[in-house]
Amino acid sequence: MQQIPLFSGMTRTELGEIASRIIHRDYAKGSVIIGTGDRVPGIAIVNTGEVKACRYLPDGREQILYLFSEGDFFGERSLYRDDDSPYQVEALSDVKICHLYRADFQELLANPAIALRVISELGKRLARLESFAGSQDLDQQIPQLLLELTDKYGREQSGGLFVRLPLSREGIANYLGIARETVSRKLSQLESDGVIRPVGNKTLWIRDRAALARLADPLSKI
């Protein structure tokens, strides 16, 4: 409980109060936590594992909007709108989720510290989407995403920085809204530039993080 960022810094009593209302639930890898069109009953906090929020376009393509991992929350839309979920949330691995019904979470909002944390988190999501929005070309977007994944999932190991990717190439493509093959091509290019090196399909060896950061930041591209 205490390690949930949303509730950090609360008193023992408050935490107990919240804990009594939390519904713990486990989901197997691949299962749907919230389906498109489901009514969202409240907020959900990821305890263990990874989930993706995505939409399915009429032509069958998947569009990934968010990756949520330990400590992240979703379903906050239920706070202010009583309608169906605009996207689906699926487990990328076995996950443990803490659910809190809308009414219970709404009470918590009376605590300004919690309200501020929700606002801050939404602000971060906005900042991320803003930075991907607009005129970004792929030679920035892909390094930007790789950098993000590196900072979130990267590990120093046997003298190198390795990232175990939570997404397949197709997943990356669906996250960026581009074609699978384009991801392959751009990664190949980054490999021949000596920036990264794929190790199997699910791991990336980041050989030059600084170069990645340079490519990702449009301001440095003068």
Partner DNA sequence: CGTTTTTTTGAAAAGTATCAAGAGAAGTGG
Partner DNA sequence: CCACTTCTCTTGATACTTTTCAAAAAAACG
Q: Which residues bind a second copy (CB under 8 A)?
A: 57-58, 61, 63-65, 76-77, 79-81, 86-87, 106, 109-110, 112, 115-116, 118-120, 122-123, 125-127, 129-130, 132-136, 174-178, 218-222
CA distance 213 to 137: 15
How near is the Cβ of 174 to DNA at its closest, in Å? 10
Which among 98, 96, 87 has a CA at the least distance from the CA of 53? 87
63 binds, among DNA, a second copy, none (CB under 5 to 8 A by kind): a second copy
Nearer to DNA, 151 or 170 (CB): 170
60 binds, among DNA, a second copy, none (CB under 5 to 8 A by kind): none
How near is the Cβ of 142 to DNA at its closest, in Å? 9
Residue that the structure tokens 């920036």 belong to: 195
DSSP output for 100-124: EEHHHHHHHTTSHHHHHHHHHHHHH
Residues 44, 75 contacting (CB under 8 angstroms): yes
Residues contributing to the site for DNA (CB under 7 A): 137-139, 168-170, 177-185, 187-188, 198, 200-202
Q: Give the helix ranges, DSSP H, for 134-222.
A: 138-153, 169-176, 180-192, 209-216
130 binds, among DNA, a second copy, none (CB under 5 to 8 A by kind): a second copy
CA distance 207 to 197: 7
How near is the Cβ of 94 to DNA at its closest, in Å? 14
CA distance 128 to 81: 23
How near is the Cβ of 211 to DNA at its closest, in Å? 18
86 binds, among DNA, a second copy, none (CB under 5 to 8 A by kind): a second copy
Nearer to DNA, 102 or 186 (CB): 186
57 binds, among DNA, a second copy, none (CB under 5 to 8 A by kind): a second copy
Count of CB atoms situated within 10 Å of the CB of 47: 18
Beta bridge partners of 199: 203
Nearer to a second copy, 27 or 105 (CB): 105
